[in-house]
Amino acid sequence: MAVLKNKKVTKAIFPVAGLGTRFLPATKSVPKEIMTLVDRPLIQYAIDEARAAGIKEFIFVTSRGKGALEDYFDHAPQLEASLRKSGKTELLETLKSTNMESGAIAYIRQHRAMGLGHAVWCARRLIANEPFAVMLPDDVIAADKPCLQQMVEAYEETGGSLVAAMEVPKSQAPNYGILDVGDSDGQLVKVKGMVEKPSVEDAPSNLAVIGRYIITPSVLQTLNRQKSGSGGEIQLTDAIAAEVESEAGVHALKFNGQRFDCGSKAGFLQATVSFALARDELQDEFAAYLRDISPMIRAAE
Ligand code: G1P
């Protein structure tokens, strides 16, 4: 594995085939990744984070009904011409982050919902013998240094596969991939095992995998042979776990930053409030509103 150690991570897979049933009826016609925190879709936060980490190629694993994602990352000549004509240069600037260099983005269909491991495997022909990132856009992470960039830096030291990790209350173990941990060096932890969505009793720790991964290509070979695991789905967690005994092993990075679970309504609302408060043009008005309604919140308790 030492050969791979210094290979740069330039590709990222975005599994975006999920139905987003937790946000129905909105997600009946809008992909959940297009839902906005303030005015930017969830997917935009993930793409910005990927770009900051040096990712140059973006692979979306999609499904039926996700066409809005393709349009979002397309150029919009009419819209751009009209903004230019009316001198709206700031808005034009805002649109720049939605533009992709031709050929930098690819869409692959996951024809059947068979799990995260299967979604990643669907993109196998676009990955050569190189490490790659996987980013779950539901997990939005606010951080001074973007989470994937922290991981790329850690990966340069570790090689092998690397997952983002965060401590969660043990009662939440059944919602996550949970790590069996070995030695740690600061925020970097050696992984001895991984189990997808264990019961509270079976959870080996309270350290959970969060939706950012750097994956060594041998995991794709494991996925070739992978049988279904937790929930009857092909789990990425299981395929990465098969690498713990490899030379480079598997590591977890306890990243710096605040993670929002935008796959849940409560997490999505928390992210909306936090990102709104972080915006210069909204801060004063929005903070004043929150102060105004706080007695109401206390009264309701
Ligand atoms: C996925 C992974 C799980 C991980 C989680 C993080 O689960 O399978 O290991 O802990 O993302 O958000 P999902 O939330 O898609 O069910």
Residue 165 CB–ligand 1 contact under 6 Å: no
The verdict on the CB of residue 177 being under 6 Å from ligand 1 is yes
Q: Which of 140, 163, 209, 262 to mutate for ligand 1's pocket (most ligand atoms within 8 Å of CB)? A: 209
Centroid of chain to Cα 255: 13
pTM: 0.94
Q: Quote the CA–CA distance of 50 and 149 in Å, as a whole number.
A: 8
Q: Is residue 123 in a domain?
A: yes
In ligand 1, which atom is closest to the CA atom of 194? 9
pLDDT confidence of residue 230:
79
Residue appearing with tokens 């050929």: 103
| Interstrand relation of 161-167 and 139-142 (parallel, antiparallel or unpaired) | unpaired
Residue 296 lies in a domain: no
Q: What is the DSSP string of 12-25?
A: EEEE-----GGGTT
Overall number of domains in the chain: 1
Fill in the DSSP letter of residue 27: G
Q: Which residue owns the Cα nearest ligand 1 atom 7? A: 176
What is the chain's alpha carbon radius of gyration, rounded to the nearest angstrom?
Answer: 20
DSSP string, 230-278: GGGS--HHHHHHTTTTSSS-EEEEE-SSEEEETTSHHHHHHHHHHHHHT
Question: Which atom of ligand 1 is closest in space to residue 176's alpha carbon?
Answer: 10
Q: Is 282 buried (19+), middle (13-18) or exposed (0-12) by CB count in 10 A? A: middle
Q: Is residue 300 part of a domain?
A: no
- Quick one: which of 52, 46, 47 has its CA closest to 152? 52
pLDDT in tens, the chain (301 residues): 444 455 899 999 999 999 889 999 999 999 999 999 999 999 999 999 999 999 999 999 999 989 999 999 998 999 999 999 999 999 999 998 899 988 999 999 999 889 999 999 999 999 989 999 999 999 999 999 999 999 999 999 999 999 999 999 999 999 999 999 998 888 999 999 999 999 999 999 999 999 999 999 999 999 988 777 777 889 999 999 999 999 999 999 999 999 999 999 999 999 999 999 999 999 999 999 999 998 887 787 7
On whether residue 69 sits in a domain, the answer given is yes
Span from the CA of 25 to the centroid of ligand 1 (angstroms): 23
Does residue 206's CB lie within 6 angstroms of at least one atom of ligand 1? no
Going from the Cα of 263 to the center of ligand 1, the distance in angstroms, rounded, reads: 10
What pLDDT shows up at residue 3?
A: 44
Task: Please indicate, yes or no, if residue 289 is contained in any of the structural domains.
Answer: no
In the reported structure, the alpha carbon of residue 280 is separated from the centroid of ligand 1 by a whole-number distance in angstroms of 33
DSSP 137: T
Position 6 scores a pLDDT of 56
CA-nearest residue for atom 11, ligand 1, is 211
In a domain, 223, yes or no: yes
Is the residue at 135 inside a domain?
Answer: yes
How far lies 202's CA from each of 12, 180, 209, in Å?
Answer: 32, 11, 16
Cβ neighbours, 10 Å, residue 248: 18
Of all helices (H) and strands (E), which one includes residue 166? strand 161-167
Which amino acid does the sequence have at 138?
A: D
Q: Which candidate, 72, 61, 73, places its Cα nearest to that of 30?
A: 72
| Distance from residue 250's CA to the centre of ligand 1 (Å) | 17
CB of 197 sitting under 6 A from ligand 1: no
Q: Residue 209: which CATH number?
A: 3.90.550.10
State the closest ligand 1 atom to the C-alpha of 236, by its place in the atom list counted from 1.
Answer: 8
270 located within any domain: no
Q: Is the CB of 49 under 6 A from ligand 1?
A: no
Q: Is the CB of 116 under 6 A from ligand 1?
A: yes
* Domain of 112, in residue numbers: 2-263
